[in-house]
């Protein structure tokens, strides 16, 4: 084993060379030997002074002399953090921020690096006005909204829409200052929703939210219903053994359906033959019941899906059941 692998410290290494005339030269160099080397944290940019509130940070130049970096932790000095190598961060206010990057290597060693970000005061776009928008619509249809804002510095503007249904903010493409933003959105559930929009410029200075616009979403469609099991074929002990032109079942069978609707599914009902009372009822997914009753010959299996507005869809299938 190399002696330098078991010792640590600072050593003076001397190299002497001599030629065939007897002349020689000597050089001495200090060599630091460690059992473990600390990782080295590097932040890009190391500093920034400007008005763009979006900063593209990177720790890609960080490295570890004798291993690998296992974690990256950023503190942006505004109450937010990140743990990826190259985070994109948008500040909400001007000011001076002391960003800290902490890295850890596979030996548990830690290093930190800081960067100072100075954001000067800027003038964000005006609060947008929703000029036009759908007041009512049906689930699955496109609803159109129109908004406009002006930027004091005539920068390009991007609009962030909150459609009030719990979805994330959706940002539009870039528009010229004063240019109308037309945006379409598809609601998937019924209800009354409050739509609002805000604007940000090229430097990511953001306006406040606009006044809210109310839209009422109704459901005009019947629920979607699909039988998943049993299909045409021969089933033995709840397993499909072969394809067939009819549905033949020996023993018990799990009847499984897929039911969806924009308003949500209230319940799925299962009927055998001409019964007025369902043999089973499913209130949540998976929509199924296990048909264990011993019966013989051909039967009519009727399945009814009821959505939260009371609309119904039904499917009937013929099942030959034995045992």
Residue 254 structure tokens: 């799990």
Assess if residue 38 is contained within a domain. no
Q: Which of 119, 147, 174 finishes a domain?
A: 119
Assess if residue 151 is contained within a domain. yes
- Using only the alpha carbons of the chain, give its radius of gyration: 34
Which DSSP letter does residue 274 get? T
Q: Which of 119, 143, 161 finishes a domain?
A: 119
Q: Is residue 232 domain-shared with residue 316, that is, in the same domain?
A: yes
Query: What integer pLDDT is reported at residue 218 of this predicted model?
Result: 87
Query: What integer pLDDT is reported at residue 66 of this predicted model?
Result: 87
Assess if residue 178 is contained within a domain. yes
pLDDT tens digits, 143-166: 999 999 999 989 999 999 999 999
Assess if residue 93 is contained within a domain. yes
Q: Is residue 145 domain-shared with residue 231, that is, in the same domain?
A: no
Assess if residue 316 is contained within a domain. yes
Assess if residue 41 is contained within a domain. no
CATH number, position 178: 2.60.40.10
Q: Is residue 156 domain-shared with residue 179, that is, in the same domain?
A: yes
pTM given for the model: 0.57
Q: Which of 65, 85, 119 finishes a domain?
A: 119
Residue 53 structure tokens: 């509130």
227 within 8 A of 254, measured Cβ to Cβ: no
pLDDT tier for residue 7 given thresholds of 50, 70 and 90: low
Q: Give the closest residue to 208 by CA, choosing from 217, 221, 196, 218.
A: 196
- Angstrom distance (rounded) from CA 303 to CA 183: 40
Residue 294 structure tokens: 């011993």
For residue 16, give its domain range: 3-33
With the C-alpha atoms ordered 208, 214, 220, 223, is the resulting torsion angle positive or negative? Answer: positive
Number of domains in the chain: 4
Q: Is residue 303 domain-shared with residue 255, that is, in the same domain?
A: yes
Question: Residue 70 above 90 pLDDT?
Answer: yes
Q: Give the closest residue to 283 by CA, choosing from 311, 259, 302, 301.
A: 259
Question: Residue 2 above 50 pLDDT?
Answer: no
């Amino acid at each position: 084993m190399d002696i330098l692998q078991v010792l640590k410290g600072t050593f003076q290494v001397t190299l002497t060379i001599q030629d065939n005339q007897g002349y020689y030269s000597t050089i001495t160099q200090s060599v630091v030997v460690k059992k473990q080397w600390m990782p080295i944290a590097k932040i890009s940019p190391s500093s920034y002074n400007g008005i763009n509130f979006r900063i593209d940070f990177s720790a890609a130049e960080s490295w570890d002399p004798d291993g690998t970096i296992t974690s990256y932790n950023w503190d942006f000095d505004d109450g937010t953090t990140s743990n990826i190598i190259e985070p994109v961060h948008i500040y909400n206010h001007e000011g001076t921020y002391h960003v800290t990057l902490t890295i850890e290597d596979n030996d548990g060693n830690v290093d930190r690096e800081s960067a100072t970000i100075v954001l000067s005061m800027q003038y964000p776009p005006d609060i947008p006005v929703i000029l036009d928008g759908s007041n009512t619509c049906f689930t699955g249809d496109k609803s159109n909204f129109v908004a406009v804002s002006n930027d004091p510095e005539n920068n390009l503007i991007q609009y962030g829409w909150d459609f009030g249904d719990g979805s994330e903010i959706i940002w539009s493409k870039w528009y010229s200052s004063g240019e109308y933003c037309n945006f379409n959105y598809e609601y998937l559930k019924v209800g009354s929703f409050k739509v609002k929009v805000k604007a940000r410029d090229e430097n990511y200075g953001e306006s406040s939210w606009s006044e809210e616009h109310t839209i009422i979403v109704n459901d005009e469609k019947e629920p979607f219903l699909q039988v998943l099991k049993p299909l045409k074929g021969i089933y033995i002990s709840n397993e499909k053994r072969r394809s067939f032109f009819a549905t033949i079942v020996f023993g018990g069978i799990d009847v499984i359906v897929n039911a969806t609707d924009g308003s949500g599914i209230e319940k799925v009902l299962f009927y055998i033959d001409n019964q007025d009372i369902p043999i089973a009822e499913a209130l949540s997914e998976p929509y199924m019941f296990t048909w264990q009753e011993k019966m013989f010959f051909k039967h009519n299996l009727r399945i009814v899906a009821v959505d939260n507005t009371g609309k119904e869809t039904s499917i009937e299938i013929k099942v030959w059941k034995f045992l």
